[in-house]
């Protein structure tokens, strides 16, 4: 059909009124313009939906539903998508102008891939955006191609793809049954992991997005206990069933260990040190031993001591970021 766009952009929206215009403007500013945008408002109580309606562009569609969670919102957008390639963007993040162009280029070069991702910048409070701390297992820029090992890259650095810098063929999304709706945390990396168990993952340093950690109402900032990361269960079942190639097993096990350590930290922050200790006792790792035992140490420290240390560290990090920003500004050449 002539009116079918080359790519569908799915944006889940829940109480992100202050940021959704920035996200939409970054899509409309793309160098590649053959797209549709599907914003799924998941029962917001702020003015986010009204902001979306204020955009006078027929390529933008707004779908509203009762609050069911981010996975249900993304899955609703996938169902409504008309293109075979579906790109994702969170409502409080944004893209640089060439992002979609790079994703389409990756799709054309590597049709066998199950997902296409770009590098991204991380924006923290009161600091400029910096490139994420990717693993050295990803070849250095300007490389792009199929990742040598998705799980190794994800185990030893920031995730090589994120919910705001990835595009996935709709056929693959259908095969994977979309995002898991039973988890409030890790539902995105669970899908990337399930895809990586079956398909190669394509990556490029070009066409970055910006991940805004300073935005409010982010799911990762919730302090609720988590018994087990959803992908850990998936990976263990696949390993026990003998479905994982020998060459992938070591990297997958280290990635599972990383997810268990992250789960322990979630529980420590949620004042459930007992859950943190339980998770860490199941954690088997060769490469992440220090991180495992550092988390285990704090799992035996009183919550009040952890909160004091965490607050002190955050203040120190804020001072460091501001100092780096000031130093960068001082070094900038002045216009005459």
Asked if residue 177 and residue 112 are part of one domain, the reply reads yes
Q: 10 Å Cβ neighbour count for 280? A: 19
Residue 98 near residue 204, CB atoms below 8 Å: no
Query: How many domains does the chain fold into?
Result: 3
Which CATH number covers residue 18?
3.90.550.10
Separation CA 148–CA 276 (nearest Å): 32
Closest CA to 181 of 69, 39, 63: 69
Q: Would residue 2 count as lying in a domain?
A: no
Position 70 pLDDT exceeds 50: yes
Question: Which pLDDT does position 309 carry in this prediction?
Answer: 81
Give the three-class secondary structure for 129.
coil
pLDDT in tens, 171-216: 999 999 999 999 989 999 999 999 999 999 999 999 999 999 987 7
Asked if residue 120 and residue 65 are part of one domain, the reply reads yes
- Does the pTM surpass 0.85? The reply is yes
Separation CA 16–CA 164 (nearest Å): 15
Asked if residue 259 and residue 127 are part of one domain, the reply reads no
- Final residue before a domain boundary, out of 191, 221, 251: 221
Name 42's bridge partners: 65
Asked if residue 287 and residue 205 are part of one domain, the reply reads no
- Average pLDDT value for residue range 265-280: 96
Would you give the distance in Å from CA 288 to the centre of its chain?
21
Structure tokens at 221: 């900032």
Kindly report whether the peptide bond that precedes residue 270 is cis, defined as omega within 30 degrees of 0. no
Would you give the distance in Å from CA 139 to the centre of its chain?
20
Asked if residue 256 and residue 176 are part of one domain, the reply reads no
Asked if residue 160 and residue 27 are part of one domain, the reply reads yes
pLDDT in tens, 79-128: 999 999 999 999 999 999 999 999 999 999 999 999 999 999 999 887 78
Of the pLDDT bands very low, low, confident and very high (cuts 50, 70, 90), residue 318 is low
Asked if residue 257 and residue 190 are part of one domain, the reply reads no
Asked if residue 142 and residue 273 are part of one domain, the reply reads no
| Owning domain of residue 234 | 230-300
- Final residue before a domain boundary, out of 167, 189, 221: 221
Q: Would residue 192 count as lying in a domain?
A: yes
Closest CA to 262 of 280, 248, 274: 280
Indicate the helix (H) or strand (E) that contains 299.
helix 289-299
Of the pLDDT bands very low, low, confident and very high (cuts 50, 70, 90), residue 2 is low
Closest CA to 53 of 92, 98, 13, 2: 13
Asked if residue 179 and residue 97 are part of one domain, the reply reads yes
- Final residue before a domain boundary, out of 221, 239, 264: 221
Separation CA 319–CA 324 (nearest Å): 9
Q: Would residue 259 count as lying in a domain?
A: yes
- Average pLDDT value for residue range 10-21: 98
* DSSP β-ladder status, 35-42 and 60-65: parallel
Q: Would residue 1 count as lying in a domain?
A: no
Asked if residue 244 and residue 276 are part of one domain, the reply reads yes
Kindly report whether the peptide bond that precedes residue 63 is cis, defined as omega within 30 degrees of 0. no
Give the three-class secondary structure for 9.
strand
Asked if residue 21 and residue 164 are part of one domain, the reply reads yes
Residue 130 near residue 121, CB atoms below 8 Å: yes
Separation CA 325–CA 126 (nearest Å): 8
Structure tokens at 128: 């400029």
- Average pLDDT value for residue range 294-313: 86
Q: Would residue 23 count as lying in a domain?
A: yes
Separation CA 15–CA 47 (nearest Å): 8
Q: 10 Å Cβ neighbour count for 119? A: 23
Radius of gyration of the chain (CA): 20
Asked if residue 136 and residue 36 are part of one domain, the reply reads yes
């Amino acid at each position: 059909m002539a009116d079918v766009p080359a790519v569908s952009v799915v944006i889940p929206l829940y109480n992100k009124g202050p940021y959704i215009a920035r996200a939409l403007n970054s899509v409309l500013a793309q160098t590649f313009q053959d797209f549709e945008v599907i914003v799924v408002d998941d029962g917001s109580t702020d003015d986010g939906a009204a902001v979306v309606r204020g955009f006078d562009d027929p390529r933008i569609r707004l779908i509203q539903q009762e609050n069911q969670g981010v996975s249900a919102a993304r899955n609703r957008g996938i169902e409504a998508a008309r293109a075979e390639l579906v790109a994702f963007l969170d409502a409080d993040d944004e893209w640089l102008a060439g992002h979609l162009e790079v994703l389409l280029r990756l799709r054309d070069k590597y049709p066998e891939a199950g997902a296409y991702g770009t590098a991204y910048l991380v924006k923290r409070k009161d600091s400029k955006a910096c490139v994420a701390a990717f693993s050295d297992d990803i070849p250095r820029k300007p490389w792009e191609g199929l990742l040598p090992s998705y799980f190794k890259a994800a185990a030893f650095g920031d995730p090589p793809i994120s919910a705001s810098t990835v595009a996935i063929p709709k056929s693959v999304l259908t095969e994977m049954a979309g995002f898991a709706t039973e988890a409030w945390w890790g539902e995105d990396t669970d899908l990337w992991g399930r895809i990586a168990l079956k398909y190669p993952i394509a990556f490029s340093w070009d066409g970055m997005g910006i991940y805004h950690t300073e935005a409010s109402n982010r799911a990762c900032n919730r302090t609720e206990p988590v018994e087990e990361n959803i992908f850990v269960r998936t990976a263990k079942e696949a390993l026990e069933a003998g479905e994982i190639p020998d060459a992938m097993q070591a990297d997958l096990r280290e990635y599972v260990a990383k997810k268990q350590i992250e789960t322990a930290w979630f529980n420590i922050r949620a004042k459930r040190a007992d859950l943190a200790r339980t998770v860490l006792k199941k954690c088997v790792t060769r490469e992440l031993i220090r991180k495992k035992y550092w988390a285990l140490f704090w799992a035996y420290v009183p919550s009040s001591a952890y909160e004091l240390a965490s607050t002190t560290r955050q203040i120190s990090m804020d001072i460091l970021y501001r100092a780096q920003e000031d130093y960068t500004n001082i070094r900038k050449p002045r216009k005459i």
